[in-house]
Amino acid sequence: TAYRRQRQMCIRDRHLASMGMSGSAMLSPLCKTVNVHATSKLVDICVELSIPNVIYTSSYNVAYGGRAIINGDESLPYFPIDQHTDQYSPTKALAEQLVLKANGRRLKNSGYLKTSCIRPAAIYGIDEKRHLPRIVKHMDTGLFQFRIGKAMVDWVDIDNLVSSLFSTVSMYTVFNNLL
């Protein structure tokens, strides 16, 4: 197939797709299909085609449960799956867990799968059409509150996210060359 031919050029896989990151889509049962089942299939395909690396773009929602996270990173424990109030957050946590569990899985040809996850917060950047329009709409309807003081929101510029993904790819490339 075309996918198998492209495998010759592919040394890693970055998983960026997700369902339900904001608004009413966060409540959709499709979140599990896209975020968990598709991720599981992607990992299986990487093993089958001996693609040695998976970088999963998770979400800080997997650890967030309504309390402030200060200086958090990927080592934070998961918020209890059954206590999330949406479909998006627990399905991202489940997908992240299955990606991490797949680390070290034997590849079909040879070698072992290496996996990693990053947990960015709200992503913004040039031509971003998800968060900013929603914020403006909330401002127009009076639902937006601006606060100066102890409130912090951890927004991630798309350029910084891409830079972190490239750093991870570079780390994998060095690691793979050592094997």
Residue 175 identity: F
The catalytic site residues sit at: 88
Find out whether 66 and 81 touch, Cβ atoms under 8 Å.
no
Closest CA to 115 of 51, 177, 64: 51
In this predicted structure, the answer to whether residue 9 has a pLDDT above a threshold of 50 is: no
Could you read off the pLDDT of 111-170 as tens digits, one per residue? Answer: 999 999 989 887 777 777 766 777 778 778 876 666 655 656 667 888 888 888 888 877
Give the C-alpha separation, 86 to 82, whole Å: 10
Global pTM exceeds 0.85: no
In this predicted structure, the answer to whether residue 14 has a pLDDT above a threshold of 90 is: no
